[in-house]
Amino acid sequence: MNAIKNIKEKIKKKIPIIGTLVSINDSSITELLCDIGFDFIWIDMEHTPIVKKDVHFHIMAAKGTGAATFVRVAWNDPILVKPILEMGPSGIIFPFIRTSSEARKAVSSCLYPPKGIRGFGPRRSIKYGITDIKKYIERADTEIWKIMQIEHIDAVNNLEEILNVEGVDAIMIGPNDLAASIGYLGQNDHPEVKKVMNIAAKKIVKYGKPFGVSIGYNPTTIKEWIERGVNYIEVGCDIAFLLQAGTQVLKKTKKIFIEGKAEN
């Protein structure tokens, strides 16, 4: 759990926190991305074929690199969250949080009674028994980030109530679905979409919660979100990196064959 402490410390010192998303089952991808130097890895179970076994290996691959591991579960369901918690991630990302009651449900699924409903059965999170159980219980509720993903206009309208829920540790904006919720899917640069983004950002910054966004790599977009006050940012993903690098290598190699000269 030291990784999340590092994230919190960087936020205090206003050090940029940059992460990326993994969607491929092979945990070697996570190991490589962590070794490159990303601060956190977003392990996505919502839109990818990644299953629990894969998550376990991805989290293990990040160990020793200093990178935090945030797992986005498929839905805000305690049954889906419980086994992931036992693997010892740095945080859980809850998609499509729209109301304070949904936020409370998310938080509750991560906390032991009497504060929450989490069942007891830690495995990797207690180093398979090496960690003292009492010490683990004392810190378990506070050292796993509960991240609410804001990706619907209802969530923006209810954002103050969501931010006031005890145990909500951080906010992550999902621009694509947020744009879709107001009728502009695929149009994140539309003025109406940017207006909603700005409203959400102002509310989050006002409450002082750690504030992140998930986007592809676009220098202009990154600058806009920095101006909105983000503390951490998720840029790109494993498949995008393969696509971009693979396309460039293929293009340049073809050019060498055609023109007979190399490009750096």
Enzyme catalytic residues: 47
Burial of 128 (0-12, 13-18, 19+ CB in 10 A): exposed
C-beta separation of 104 from 74 below 8 A: no
Q: Which residues pair with 170 in a beta bridge?
A: 147
Other CB atoms closer than 10 Å to residue 158's CB: what's the count?
Answer: 19
Closest CA to 139 of 99, 105, 110: 110
Spatial separation of the C-alpha atoms in residues 108 and 85, rounded to whole Å: 12
Spatial separation of the C-alpha atoms in residues 94 and 7, rounded to whole Å: 19
Spatial separation of the C-alpha atoms in residues 71 and 187, rounded to whole Å: 27
Interior/surface letters 100-115, b for 16+ CB within 10 angstroms, e for the rest? bebbbbbbbbbbeeee
3-class SS at 24? coil
Q: Which residues pair with 211 in a beta bridge?
A: 171
Q: Supply 156's token pair.
A: 């923006």
3-class SS at 211? strand
